[in-house]
Amino acid sequence: MNDNGMKKQKVKVAVLVLIAIVGMVYHVNAKQIMATANELTKKEQNIIAISSLTGKGDLDKLKIALNTGLEEGLTINEIKEVLVHTYAYCGFPRSIRALQSFMEVVDDRKASGKVDETGDEASPIDQNVNKYTRGKKILEELTKTQQPESLSGYSAFAPTIDRFLKEHLFAAIFERDVLNYAERELVTISVIASIGKAEPMLRSHLIICRNVGLSSEKLQEFVTVLKSTIGKKEAKVAQQVLDEVLANDKIN
């Protein structure tokens, strides 16, 4: 082979090596992106911790979680929104006590010279559409199921609770934009898991979690965060319910 042929051969080899390296880098980056998409973000982990401790009523641990949340990038308004959302599932007493604890944390941090981001306020909500209708539409988006025209079950037994759910929980709370649907569902399942004895509701909201884009890997990690935050007992029950939901996913 002459010199010219040797040069061409070297160039060809170099090009092939470069293509192989680019391919490897792309494959690694793609796997990293996929792994990241299937892992809870720091924000999501903190939302779970704050919500579950609020539901549990453990204010000492909650203050630690609130500090961690602020340190790791949650804004003051995002945490407020989390704590306000929790009241729908664990009641005003624990939600308000959590908000009072948060006030203390914010004041202590200010006194020590720490500056925390306030964050966005909730956008105004269009009140021209009937609240019940708005809530019904949001519930349909979350469940991916059209709501029946006639009430059944507990809604038929106590129509007032159906109106409160549609008008207040799903219209007044879920349509606020400081947190997205996935983040609100993480708040919801965290509180439900922490209060216990509400497995049917936990099951329903884990299904909604899947509907709003939370992967099975993220939900498995949710159980892990729950275990380290509030305990093995609650995490074990949550895992059992999650296993049922994911098994049903595979069947369908």
Domains of the chain: total: 2
What count of residues does the chain have? 252
For residue 159, what are the contacts with CB-CB under 8 A and spacing of at least 6?
A: 151
* Domain final residue, candidates 176, 202, 218: 176
Residue 164 lies in a domain: yes
Residues 230 and 60: beta-carbon distance below 8 Å: no
Asked if residue 137 and residue 232 are part of one domain, the reply reads no
Same structural domain for residues 137 and 240?
no
What confidence tens digit (pLDDT) does each residue in 178-214 have? Answer: 999 999 999 999 999 999 999 999 999 999 999 999 9
How far apart are the C-alpha atoms of 56 and 138, rounded to whole Å? 28
pLDDT in tens, 103-143: 999 999 999 999 999 999 999 998 899 999 999 999 999 99
Is 232 in the same domain as 157?
Answer: no
Q: Residue 13: inside a domain, yes or no?
A: no
Q: Which residue is listed with tokens 């630690």? A: 64
Residues 137 and 162 in one domain: yes
Residue 53 CB partners (closer than 8 Å, separation 6+): 59, 61, 62, 65, 98, 194, 229, 230
Domain extent, residue 161, equals: 126-176
In a domain, 198, yes or no: yes
pLDDT at 251: 75
What is the structure's pLDDT at 249? 85
DSSP state, residue 171: I
Q: Tally Cβ neighbours within 10 Å of residue 86.
A: 26
Q: Is 104 within the bounds of a domain?
A: yes
Handedness of CA 104, 106, 109, 111 (dihedral sign): negative
